[in-house]
Amino acid sequence: MALAVLLALTLGIGGGTADVAQTAPMPVPSTQQAVPRPAALTLARLLNSETMIIGPADAPDKAIRVMGEMVAQNADVQAMETRHPGITRAMGDAMMPIAVRSMRERLPELWRRQALVYGARFTDSELETLSVFYGSPTGRKILDTMQKAMGHKAMVAEAAASPDFRFGVQSVQKDKEAAAQIMVKALDDGDMMVLAMLQKTGLVDRIKAVGTETQANALAWYDEQTPWEEAETEKALAGVMARFGVSGE
């Protein structure tokens, strides 16, 4: 099963409109890295915080449950689960701590990539305006509500229909649009006034317009690994297989 799917189901990652498929897991690139402007990096950290990307304390458990829903639709996984009840959950439990540790280590690289996108599209003054908004009570409410309301219906459907359990930006966007409808209902009159003021600057539409690129960045980042991750994941899964008496499946 694709570890990237297990990871990406944890959170409400940034929006997009194009269907950009994920590639096979790969190590983090070691090429020469561009340095983003400080104002862009500040915005990237706000919009891609650990809570938004990795999720709250219960996110790993939620991700494992969603993974179970997804793979339950696969005939091979169903057969293995029938022969070894509980093995799907055990695999998720074994992989998730490793995945979370990897994401925490790699989070600065995601910030760098997203900051380069923001820096190419906005002036420092515009970046500061956006950072002030997303750091305000209204901005934090929007991000927090979106993260909590984010479902996974479209992502799970596409992943379940995929031979390698993968999904693209378009499915993420569908789930984000559903979460946005819930989020809007949580805003009070004061929040709407603050949001209206930002909309008058044109920055709301412009930050949405970069969603395809930032979403593609996020999906690619989820599919990468730290140098130690693959070996630790294989070791953890081997332990699960041995515990359940699985051989050659």
126 with 37: CB under 8 angstroms?
no
| Residue 160: both structure tokens together | 């379940």
What does DSSP assign to residue 21? B
Instruction: Give per-residue pLDDT as tens, 193-203.
Output: 999 999 999 99
| Residue 36: both structure tokens together | 């983003």
What is the per-residue DSSP string for 56-95? STTHHHHHHHHHHHHHTTSHHHHHHHHHSTTHHHHHHHHH
Residue with tokens 């194009």: 18
φ, ψ at 27 (rounded to 5°): -65, 160
Residue with tokens 């074994």: 94
| Residue 39: both structure tokens together | 């104002």
Residue 228 lies in a domain: yes
Number of domains in the chain: 1
Instruction: Give per-residue pLDDT as tens, 220-242.
Output: 999 899 999 999 999 999 999 99
The pLDDT-based confidence of 25 (bands split at 50, 70, 90) is very low
Which residues are 21's β-sheet partners?
Answer: 168
Residue 248 lies in a domain: no
Q: What was the pLDDT predicted at 17?
A: 28
Higher pLDDT, 179 or 68: 179
Computed over its alpha carbons, how large is the radius of gyration of the chain? 19
Average pLDDT over residues 206-210: 94
Q: With a cut of 90, say whether residue 105 has pLDDT above it.
A: yes
Estimate the share of the chain in helix, then strand, then coil, as percent rounded to the nearest 5.
70, 0, 25
Average pLDDT over residues 97-112: 95
C-alpha 227/C-alpha 36 separation (Å) is 24
Residue with tokens 């793979």: 71
Higher pLDDT, 81 or 13: 81
Residue 95 lies in a domain: yes
Residue 135 lies in a domain: yes
pTM for this structure? 0.82
Residue 214: give the domain boundaries. Answer: 3-13+34-243
C-alpha 177/C-alpha 192 separation (Å) is 18
Residue 151 lies in a domain: yes
Q: What was the pLDDT predicted at 80?
A: 86
SS3 call for 91? helix
Q: With a cut of 50, say whether residue 24 has pLDDT above it.
A: no
Q: What was the pLDDT predicted at 179?
A: 92
Q: With a cut of 90, say whether residue 134 has pLDDT above it.
A: yes
Q: Of 21, 96, 16, which is closest to residue 59 (Cα–Cα)?
A: 96
Residue 25 lies in a domain: no
Q: Of 163, 169, 225, which is closest to residue 28 (Cα–Cα)?
A: 225
Residue 89 lies in a domain: yes
Would you say the C-alpha torsion 163, 167, 170, 176 has a positive or negative sign? positive
Instruction: Provide the mean pLDDT of the chain.
Output: 83
55 with 143: CB under 8 angstroms?
no
Residue 18 lies in a domain: no
